[in-house]
Amino acid sequence: MSNPINICIVDDDNIYQYTIVKTIKSLDFASKIITFSDGEEALNFVLKNLNDKIELPDIILLDINMPIMDGFQFMEEFVKIKPKLGKKIVIYMVSSSVDPKDIERTKKISAISDYIIKPIEIEKLKTIIQVLQ
């Protein structure tokens, strides 16, 4: 790992969380991995750490369909606080949805780097992370 990065997983699927965290750890890609089960938890964490470059994630892998606050609702709030952030955060929408409406909606949000359909292939994960290293 040449440049330690923080990765944040925002997804209500415990099996997906477990699998993606285990995969990232096995590839030795991250200095820190944090997980949240809904967008509100993740947003509160970001707000609490607005200027803390060490705590803020470098990458957020964000699900669409979650309870309390879904991925699109998270992005509506994230866009508002983005100018106040102490560092750049790269966001990928990661979903099992193949609905063209979800994909198009994601493309209209400039703060989202890409739309990835689950499961994330290891090569795609490597590419995402190597961009930051």
What pLDDT does residue 3 have?
64
Cα of 51 vs its chain's centroid, Å: 18
What value does the mean pLDDT of the chain take?
93
What pLDDT does residue 68 have?
94
Sequence ranges of the domains in the chain: 6-130
Quick one: 7 exposed, middle or buried, by C-beta within 10 A (0-12, 13-18, 19+)? buried
> 6-130 domain in CATH 3.40.50.880?
no
For residue 89, which of 67, 68, 62, 107 has the smallest C-alpha distance? 62
Chain segment 37-75, per-residue pLDDT in tens: 999 999 999 999 999 999 999 999 999 999 999 999 999
> CA 15, CA 118: separation in Å to the nearest integer?
12
Record the pTM: 0.94
How many Å from the N-terminal Cα to the C-terminal Cα in the chain?
Answer: 8
